[in-house]
């Protein structure tokens, strides 16, 4: 916890920006394309699917998966850039690691 | 071999596997029992989370429901996967950094209040019992249909298995059995789906298959054929929506936020060593879940086409064996309204009172006679939605071993979820209630004993729910998600992202969100079920979607109360700052103890 305050605040601000960006895509692809604009999108086709139907039952789920992996990559990079990553943490494989007996 | 011996073989082998794993991974301490010692790999945790999450409802019921409601089924598909984005981005990494055992732990510590902890404990227990009742019933149904044992005996066998690995192994035993159960259930779900997709469209990948043309009519897309069949029989087109946009929006949001707030899912992220492992295991979990969730809508449309083409206008004497076997189980019923000996499948409920009431006699064609009056429409057939996945391989005339495999998969899905829920209940009682509030002086060894006793009692109660299912089980499913959305998600989210949020705001928010959601659901489901239609709903939002408004009520109340009461003490600001950065995840617990 010896991080300078300023650096921690920077880290948190960048983190919030990342979250806002990803969650906007999350909202647009599920609530937007899959619900609000689904009937309009249905005029287009993707092979045998109406496009709106495809987003509602398939596309949104694929976008969710991609979003989480983009987040994992970006968040790990952010941790490194701001020096708050866990590389120097030592994971102790120990029964009492959680302080089970220390309570 | 016949279906029954194959089913015994598959189910028996999978159960032996679960018990073997349980014996190998016994819990030695409370940390083992609650969070598997915190040393689970992200990949294993991803699989375990997927099995934990995908219940009898996902495996058995979801594709069936979608095949009856068409595009509107997307509320479940998006709702139950989109929540993982919220979980991965907004909750899991920070809760892992916090590094305690349970959701009430976080609520109690962050809001420096045992009252808040108690509210959380009550919610955890209520949500988990609601959920587990359905699982035990699912176990009973699979046993009675495929192994032809009594439903009650089936529930008892299921209880014994869960008892063995949950009480002995705790989270450690559950984690590794869930990994095995995921493999069993996904294999069992995918094999018939791939077979059917190949049969019907020539495409081995079901996700692409239901957007392809039919092998029987190379110029027609499967979904177009399905729309045509549906409208010809008086149903709405399969790819069109029936629910109002605002209701679809609110149900999807309530399911997403509810998923992110379910305690048995959240607790899985306490079992990995580091913050970045928590992120990664959320990613793996969603991949494993998405495999089933993108296949389910394909299965739904395949089975819908098959059912319509197989039974509509078929004479009762000529229908395939599965039809009569499910009729014997009481989940299919036929009322020959026009007396032509043929089955007419049309839109609308075939029977007055919806559920069939069978008479002991049989009709002219050999069908079971009903005491229900026929309804005014020309539909002659009642089909229970839950049988679609289980009957799917038979409907598509797949080999016997595939049918047996589906039984083992359904059991894996129900047992894995039941075990996860029971563990959460036992942790809430032994850790959050006894250790943290009532008996703070007990040793680790005593706490572990209490946790085991609580798990055993919880299994007993869950079994009773399965044997004597309360009539309200189907109605209360909306509760679990609505309440999780209206209580846990806002309170945890604000606990991490809003440092100024204090004890008074959190408690007021949780209570107001809960009461609002609870009252709305109880009114429409129990007090005045006759009014449960779009005309009477507030803003056109059904009880299933009301959790979304409950969440907003929670947020608004919490913020308002928070601004007129004292800010939290300095140590809480420090705690939040600490939770926000990944470094030092291993030390977080000790750090907090010292502060």
Q: Is B521 helix (H, G, I), strand (E, B) or coil?
A: helix
Taking CB atoms and an 8 Å limit, are B276 and A3 in contact across chains? no
Q: Is residue B134 a contact partner of residue B55, using CB atoms and an 8 Å limit?
A: yes
Does A11 contact B at CB distance below 8 Å? yes
Is the per-residue pLDDT at A96 higher than 50? no
* DSSP E strand stretches across B129-267: none
Contacts of A90 in chain B (CB under 8 A): 586
Taking CB atoms and an 8 Å limit, are A31 and B252 in contact across chains? yes
Superfamily name and number for B3-306+398-590: Sodium/glucose cotransporter (1.20.1730.10)
* pLDDT above 70 coverage of chain B, percent: 96
DSSP-assigned states of every residue in B543-577? GGGHHHHHHHHHHHHHHHHHHHSPPPPHHHHHHHH
**pLDDT, average across residues B195-223:** 89
Contacts of B211 in chain A (CB under 8 A): 46-49, 54
Q: Taking a contact as any Cβ pair under 8 Å apart, which residues of chain A between 26 and 85 contact chain B?
A: 26, 30-31, 34-36, 38-39, 42, 46-50, 53-54, 56-58, 60-62, 64-65, 67-69, 71-72, 75-76, 79, 83-85
Q: What is the pLDDT of residues A11-32, one digit of tens each?
A: 999 999 999 999 999 999 999 9
Q: Of A11, A68, A83, which is closest to B88 when you measure between CB atoms?
A: A68
Contacts of B71 in chain A (CB under 8 A): 38, 53, 56-57
Res B190: pLDDT:
93
Contacts of A30 in chain B (CB under 8 A): 78, 82, 252, 256
Contacts of A35 in chain B (CB under 8 A): 74, 78, 245, 248-249, 252
Res A100: pLDDT:
41
The secondary element (H helix, E strand) that includes residue B83 is helix B74-86
Q: What is the pLDDT of residues B439-461, one digit of tens each?
A: 888 888 888 888 888 888 888 88
Taking CB atoms and an 8 Å limit, are A31 and B29 in contact across chains? no
DSSP one-letter code for B530? G
H-state helical runs in B468-544: 473-486, 488-497, 503-522
Taking CB atoms and an 8 Å limit, are B283 and A11 in contact across chains? no
Domain positions in chain B are: 3-306+398-590
Taking CB atoms and an 8 Å limit, are A99 and B581 in contact across chains? no
Band the pLDDT of B525: cuts 50, 70, 90. Answer: confident
H-state helical runs in B370-472: 387-395, 400-427, 444-467
Taking CB atoms and an 8 Å limit, are B444 and A100 in contact across chains? yes
Band the pLDDT of A72: cuts 50, 70, 90. Answer: very high
Handedness of CA B338, B341, B347, B352 (dihedral sign): positive
DSSP one-letter code for B381? E
Taking CB atoms and an 8 Å limit, are A19 and B89 in contact across chains? yes
Quote the mean pLDDT of chain B.
Answer: 86
Beta bridge partners of B476: none
Mutate to test the interface with A, among B73, B84, B211, B253 (most CBs of A within 10 A): B211
- Neighbour-count burial of B17, counting CB atoms closer than 10 A to its CB (0-12 exposed, 13-18 middle, 19+ buried): middle
Q: How many CB pairs under 8 A join A and B?
A: 185
DSSP-assigned states of every residue in B350-363? SBTTSS--EEEEE-
Band the pLDDT of B476: cuts 50, 70, 90. Answer: low
Q: Of A49, A60, A83, which is closest to B211 when you measure between CB atoms?
A: A49
**pLDDT, average across residues B514-523:** 88
Res A3: pLDDT:
52
Taking CB atoms and an 8 Å limit, are B248 and A75 in contact across chains? no
């Amino acid at each position: 916890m010896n991080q300078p305050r300023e650096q921690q605040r920077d880290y948190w601000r960048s983190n919030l920006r990342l979250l806002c960006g990803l969650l906007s895509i999350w909202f647009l692809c599920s609530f937007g394309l899959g619900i609000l604009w689904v009937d309009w999108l249905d005029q287009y086709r993707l092979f045998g699917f109406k496009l709106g139907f495809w987003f509602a039952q398939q596309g949104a789920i694929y976008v969710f998966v991609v979003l989480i992996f983009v987040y994992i990559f970006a968040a790990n990079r952010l941790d490194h850039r701001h020096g708050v990553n866990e590389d120097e943490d030592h994971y102790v494989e120990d029964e009492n690691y959680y302080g089970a007996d220390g309570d | 071999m016949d279906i029954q011996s194959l089913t015994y073989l598959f189910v028996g082998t999978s159960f032996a596997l679960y018990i073997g794993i349980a014996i190998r991974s016994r819990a030695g301490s409370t940390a083992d029992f609650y969070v598997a010692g915190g040393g689970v790999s992200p990949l294993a945790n991803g699989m375990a989370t997927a099995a934990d999450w995908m219940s009898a409802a996902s495996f058995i019921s979801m594709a069936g429901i979608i095949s009856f409601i068409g595009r509107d089924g997307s509320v479940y598909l998006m709702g139950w996967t989109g929540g993982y984005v919220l979980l991965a981005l907004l909750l899991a990494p920070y809760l892992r950094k916090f590094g305690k055992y349970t959701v009430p732990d976080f609520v109690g510590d962050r809001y420096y209040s045992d009252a808040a902890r108690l509210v959380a404990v009550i919610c955890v227990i209520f949500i988990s019992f609601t959920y587990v009742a359905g699982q035990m019933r699912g176990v009973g149904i699979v046993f009675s249909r495929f192994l032809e044992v009594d439903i009650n005996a089936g529930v008892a066998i299921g209880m014994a298995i869960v008892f063995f690995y949950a009480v002995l192994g705790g989270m450690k035993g559950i984690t590794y059995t869930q990994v095995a159960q995921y493999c069993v259930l996904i294999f069992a779900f995918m094999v018939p789906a791939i077979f059917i997709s190949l049969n019907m469209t020539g495409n081995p990948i079901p996700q692409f298959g239901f957007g392809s043309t039919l092998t029987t009519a190379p110029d027609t897309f499967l979904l177009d054929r399905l729309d045509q069949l549906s409208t010809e029989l008086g149903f709405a087109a399969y790819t069109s929506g029936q629910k109002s946009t605002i209701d679809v929006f609110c149900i999807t949001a309530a399911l997403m936020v509810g998923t992110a707030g379910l305690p048995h899912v959240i607790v899985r992220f306490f079992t990995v060593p580091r913050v970045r492992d928590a992120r990664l295991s959320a990613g793996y979990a969603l991949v494993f879940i998405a495999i089933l969730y993108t296949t389910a809508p394909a299965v739904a449309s395949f089975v819908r086409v098959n059912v319509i083409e197989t039974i509509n206008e078929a004479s009762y004497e000529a229908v395939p064996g599965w039809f009569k076997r499910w009729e014997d189980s009481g989940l299919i019923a036929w009322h020959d309204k026009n007396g032509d000996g043929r089955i007419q499948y049309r839109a609308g409920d075939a029977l007055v009172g919806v559920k069939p009431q069978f008479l002991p006699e049989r009709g002219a064609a050999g069908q079971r006679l009903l005491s229900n009056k026929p309804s005014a429409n020309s539909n002659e057939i009642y089909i229970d939605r839950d049988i679609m996945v289980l009957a799917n391989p038979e409907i598509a005339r797949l080999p016997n071993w595939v049918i047996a495999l589906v039984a083992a998969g359904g059991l894996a899905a129900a047992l894995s979820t039941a075990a996860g829920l029971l563990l959460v209940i036992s942790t809430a009682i032994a850790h959050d209630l006894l250790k943290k509030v009532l008996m703070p002086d007990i040793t680790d060894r005593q706490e572990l004993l209490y946790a085991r006793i609580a798990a055993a009692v919880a299994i007993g109660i869950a079994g009773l729910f399965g044997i004597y299912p309360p009539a309200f089980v189907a109605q209360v499913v909306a509760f679990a998600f609505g309440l999780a959305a209206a209580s846990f998600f806002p309170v945890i989210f604000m606990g991490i992202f809003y440092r100024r949020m204090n004890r008074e705001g959190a408690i007021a928010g949780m209570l107001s969100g809960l009461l609002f959601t609870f009252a709305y659901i109880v009114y429409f489901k129990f007090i005045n079920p006759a009014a449960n239609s779009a005309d009477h709903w507030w803003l056109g939002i059904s009880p299933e979607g009301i959790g979304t408004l409950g969440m907003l009520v929670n947020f608004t109340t919490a913020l308002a109360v928070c601004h007129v009461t004292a800010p939290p003490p300095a140590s809480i600001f420090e705690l939040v700052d600490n939770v926000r950065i990944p470094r030092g995840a291993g030390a977080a617990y000790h750090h907090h103890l010292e502060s």
